[in-house]
Each structure stands twice: as structure tokens, then as C-alpha cells.
Amino acid sequence: MQIDNKVVARYLDGRVLKGITRDFSPNRISFHVEVEGSGEIVELRMRHLKALFFVRSFEGDPERQDLRGFVEGPAETAQGRKIAVRFRDDEFICGYTLSWSPDRDGFFLFPSDAGGNNQRIYVVSGSTDEIKAGPQAEVLAQRILADERARGAEAAGSPPSRPRPRPSGTTPRPASSSFARPPGTAARGGVHETGAPRPSGTTPRPPGLGARSREADAA
């Protein structure tokens, strides 16, 4: 008996095809899809595909945000052991598998987010850049998700800390509060360098003036 499987085929070149397949087999080099909406029957070859997604519906839930990583899932389930896949286009998928082997052309992956629209995914091994299974799958997932968060923070434009702008008309304060005061000048507030208040209306006497005056009187 034939079974109608709703699938979304993703090509290596980025194209997407949605439809029904009734003759898919991982052991065959090609299969057929009845295209959604037109009813046209087309043949798809495995070597042209990135992956084949078996879906619950063609529309999915656009408002749902799929969970990333393994969501603290167990190391193994009835659907197999953990596996993490990074495709050549940088798409990243985590799930479980019973059929992955490094020497196989492809394998089925059951997504770790069981509540998503994808029921299972047939991954074409030649379209991947990195595959890790078992404990290494969790390591790969954590590394990739950390990289994504870092890129997201950078894209958000977190600028380096900068000094606040100084109000217009103000003068920058010297870097150090202890600096040489020019000879003969008074501190702010009419205070001598010794700290004694200067009488109002007086003018600082130049250094050495008193001595010259006494010499003139003696003459």
C-alpha cells in the first residue's frame, strides 16, 4: 500500500519544492514528488538535494520559534542516539538517529524539538560540513549556539564604551589633580597658595619687590 508523505525538498542550490511522495527510499538514487498546487509529477535525484523534510503540514506555524540544540534531551531515545549536523550553508540541526554511519550516503534524523513541523529529516551526507554523534554531538551544538549568540550580539551593534560628551563651553579637567600652579597666581576663591584669604581689592606683590623698596629707603 502506498503512503502519502508530505515533504519539503531542499536543493543544494537553495531551491525548495513542496509536495507528496509515495516512492521515497534511502536506497534509491531518485524518487518522485507530486508538486503541491499543480499536481505535476517530478523526479528528484538524491545528489541534487541537501535534505528532504517530512512535514506535518506545508504551511507550518510561522509564529512558532523552534527550540535550538538538544533542549537537555537524553543521550539516547527510542529514535537513536544524539546527532548534530551542520550543513554547508551553515544551517544547523540537532536530533536523534538510528541509521547514521560515516560511510553512508544519507540517514534519517528525528529532530530534538518534537513539537516542530518536521517529523523526520533525510540528510544527504554530501551536503554536510560537519556531523557529530553521541557525546560529541552535544559539544558541537554548544559550540555552534555560542558562536551564533556572539554573532547576534555583534550584529545588534553593542558599541565599545566611550566617554560621555562634555557640555558645550566647558574645559577638560587635567588628567591629574596635582599640577604645578604658575608662580604668583592665586587659587580659586581668592585664597593664597598658603591657604590664607587675600584681602579684598589687593593685588599680589611681585616676588622681591619688598626687598628693593627697603634698599631704596636706606639709600
> What's the pLDDT score for residue 25?
95
Q: Mean pLDDT across the stretch 172-195?
A: 44
Residues 6+ apart with CB under 8 A from 86: 92, 128, 129, 130, 131, 140, 144
Q: In 10 A of CB 133, how many CB atoms?
A: 19
> What's the pLDDT score for residue 213?
40
User: Where do the domains of the chain lie?
Assistant: 5-155
> What's the pLDDT score for residue 60?
77
Which residues are bridge partners to 187 per DSSP? 191
> What's the pLDDT score for residue 181?
46
Q: Identify the residue with better confidence: 69 or 194.
A: 69
- Report whether pLDDT(204) > 70: no
Q: In 10 A of CB 124, how many CB atoms?
A: 20
Residue with cell string 507528496: 20
Which tens digits make up the pLDDT trace of 78-103?
899 999 999 999 999 999 999 899 88
Q: Identify the residue with better confidence: 152 or 177.
A: 152
Residues 6+ apart with CB under 8 A from 43: 30, 31, 32
Whole-structure pTM value: 0.67
**Residue 96: which of 73, 116, 129 has the closest Cα?**
73
Q: In 10 A of CB 69, how many CB atoms?
A: 18
Which tens digits make up the pLDDT trace of 114-170?
888 999 999 999 999 999 999 999 999 999 888 888 888 888 875 554 545 554 454
